[in-house]
Structures are given as C-alpha cells and as structure tokens.
Amino acid sequence: MTSLELFDYFLPDELIAQYPSQVRDASRLLVVNRTDKTLADRQFTDLCEYLHSGDVLVMNDSRVIHARLFGEKLGTGARVELFLLKDMSALHGQADTWEALLRPARRLKPGDLVRFDENLIARILEKGSDGSAVVLLQYSGDLLEALNQAGRIPLPPYIKREPEALDTERYQTVYAKEPGSAAAPTAGLHFTDDLLAKLEKQGVIMEFVTLHVGLGTFRPVQAENIEDHQMHEEFYHISPAVAQSINQAKAEGRRVVCVGTTSVRTLESAVCDGCNSIQAGWGSTRLFIYPGSQTFKITDALITNFHLPKSSLLMLVSAFYDREGILEAYQHAIKQRYRFFSYGDAMMIV
C-alpha cells in the first residue's frame, strides 16, 4: 500500500499564481539533478544551457478549447453550467458528441436541452451519478467558432478570478495546434517563438505529439491507497515521422526531453510490448505513473510545472526522480518564493 498522505505538502495561498508572468520565458526554472541531487535556481531562458545538439524536445501541441459554457434549460430558464471534457464522437458513432460535467446536474435529465446562445444548444443524451454527462452539441457553421462565441477559457479553480482577455492567449502554448483540451499542457506555457528558434539553432530537435487534456489529469487523487486510483481516459496521437525521430534518438543514445507530464504519458503509453521504442498512430491512455509502478523507457529528462498536493502529476514527477527528493525540491521552491501551478514557474529534472 502506498498512502496518499505521502504526497501532501503545505503551500501558502499567495504562491499560487493568479496571472502569468509578464513575459512567457521570464519564469523561473528550478533545475533538479538526479545524479548529484543538486538544485539550481535559474531562469527559464537558461534552458539553452541544459539542452544540447541532438536532444529531442517533445511537446504536446493540443489546443485548449473554450470548454466552459453557461446557459439555461429550455422550458424552465434554469441556469446551467456545462464543462466539455472530451470529444466522444468516434466512440458513440455520432458527430459532436461530448463527455461533459453538468452543474447543477439534478436539474437535468436525458432529452433536456440547454441553450448557450442563439447558435449553440446541448441535448443531454446520458447522465452519470457523479455530475458527468454525454451531450450532443447542436450548432450551425464551425464548432470551434461556436464555442469561441458562447464559451470561456477554462481556467482551473485555484485561479480565483474570471477569465480575462489575456487568458485567451496566455492559457495556450505558442505552438498549440490541435483543438480538444479542457486544460492547458502548462509546462509549455513558458516557451516563446524566439526561445524555440534559439534551441533549434543549437541543434535541438523539436517534435510534437498530441494528447487532449481532460480534467482527470489535474484532479487530486481521492483513494487513500494511491494504487487504487483510476485515471480518466485521454486520447493521443503520434505521427510516423515523430515516432521514427524518437526511436532513432533512443537507438543512438540521444536524450528525449519531455515538455510536460502529458508528453511523458503519451510516449510511455505508446511503448511497444517488450521493447524500448514507440508506435505511431492514435491511441488512448489511462496510464497512471507513480513511484514503483514502472520504469521510464523513453523519457530521459522532464520540463514541468509545480503540481498540486496529492495529484497524479506530483506522483508522476516523484516516480521520475524520487518522492523525498521532489518534496525537498518543492520545499526549496516554497522557501525561495517560486510561483506554483498553471501560471507559475517551471522545474527541469535532468
């Protein structure tokens, strides 16, 4: 048994970043060395010193959608909040079918309609006992445009303010391309086009995978024995060219550096049975990585943010280094007044 309490720590509220840094790559960077157990306080632009020619930098290019919707139930006018989690069209065999969270769920039943604006309506198809639902979105034109008009950027609940105009740009990586995430792959928020160009000039190889982030990635683990925790399913895609690039790097002894836990989970989920290479294509994953659960076959270094207590993300980074070392690094970051969570500072584990 591995107790959930082993992954708890105290964080002063004032260290939870409510806004992004003025400039993306002006964030701080705590470098954790797994070999000599040292910590180095750096700036994110110093990343160039820690990445080398031939390294493969793997980033998640999923794009956050305006997933948070407020509307009213047709017929009664009752206010309803709908949070889109993931596109379930392929599984349900019907386009525009989504898994979502409803609030308040008790007001709605299958068959009910919720209107968000003159162009977007959701029909409730199924309801779960936990506030989840399957909904069919009805609209004219382009879905993303309809969501942009009716919805809001889904800032996480520890950001205690309403979304502002700046969040449309800053709660999105500069390389975001494939729409579908309900939350940002936040480790990538620190990169600028200029920094990426500088790394490329150094000979760092940039590769992109796609994993659409659901709320399950960020929710605190509830099970007292963490081994009983079940991850929500998330979908990913790796192109043949990217798989070949990563497999060649591994074969030649070059490093694969993952930007964010979502990139780690994508690559480690795509490992072939009985080998140390990855398969291209579409896939889904419920992979839950925690200390002792598995070895890392692809990931050699990790760029990540600081994660919530008792979260599966904290457990993943603890597995990549070790639990005691990560919690010591977090205590150092707290003492040095690093900024935490989605809009906070970054950590690199080498």
In terms of Cα–Cα distance, which of 271, 276, 301 is closest to 287? 271
**The tokens of 257 are what?**
């550096």
Q: What is the pLDDT of residue 45?
A: 97
pTM greater than 0.85: yes
Q: How many angstroms separate the Cα of 301 from the Cα of each of 33, 47, 140, 304, 350?
A: 10, 12, 45, 10, 5
pLDDT in tens, the chain (350 residues): 899 999 999 999 999 999 999 999 999 999 999 999 999 999 999 999 999 999 999 999 999 999 999 999 999 999 999 999 999 998 888 999 999 999 998 889 999 999 999 999 999 999 988 888 999 999 999 999 999 999 999 999 999 999 999 999 999 999 999 999 999 999 999 999 999 999 999 999 999 999 999 876 666 798 999 999 999 889 999 999 999 999 999 999 999 999 999 999 999 999 998 888 999 999 999 999 999 998 999 999 999 999 999 999 999 999 999 999 999 999 999 999 999 999 999 999 99
**Contacts for 328 with CB less than 8 Å, ≥ 6 apart:** none
Residues 162 and 168 sit within 8 Å (Cβ to Cβ): no
| Cβ density class 211-249: b for 16+ within 10 Å, e for less | bbbbbbbbbebeeeebeebebbebbbbbeeebbebbbeb
- Please tell me the distance from the alpha carbon of residue 165 to that of residue 236, in angstroms, as a whole number: 29
Environment class of residue 38 by beta-carbon count within 10 Å: exposed (0-12), middle (13-18) or buried (19+)?
exposed
| Domain 4-64+167-349: CATH class, spelled out | alpha beta
**The tokens of 65 are what?**
């959608």
C-beta atoms surrounding 193 within 10 Å: 10
**Contacts for 269 with CB less than 8 Å, ≥ 6 apart:** 236, 283, 285, 287
Q: What is the pLDDT of residue 217?
A: 65
Domain range list for the chain:
4-64+167-349, 70-152
In terms of Cα–Cα distance, which of 270, 168, 255, 181 is closest to 218? 181
Residues 342 and 24 sit within 8 Å (Cβ to Cβ): no
Count, residues in the chain:
350
- Please tell me the distance from the alpha carbon of residue 18 to that of residue 16, in angstroms, as a whole number: 6
Task: Tell me if residue 21 falls in helix, strand or coil.
Answer: coil
Residues 208 and 242 sit within 8 Å (Cβ to Cβ): yes
Q: What is the pLDDT of residue 190?
A: 98
Asked whether this chain's domains 4-64+167-349 and 70-152 adopt the same fold, the reply is no
In terms of Cα–Cα distance, which of 191, 157, 149 is closest to 65? 149
CATH placement of domain 70-152: 2.40.10.240
Q: What is the pLDDT of residue 218?
A: 60
**The tokens of 85 are what?**
């989690």
Peptide bond into 104 cis (omega under 30): yes
Sheet-wide strand order for 28-32: 39-43, 28-32, 346-349, 301-305, 256-259, 56-60, 205-211, 234-238, 281-285
Query: H/E element holding 312?
Result: helix 312-320
Residues 323 and 307 sit within 8 Å (Cβ to Cβ): no
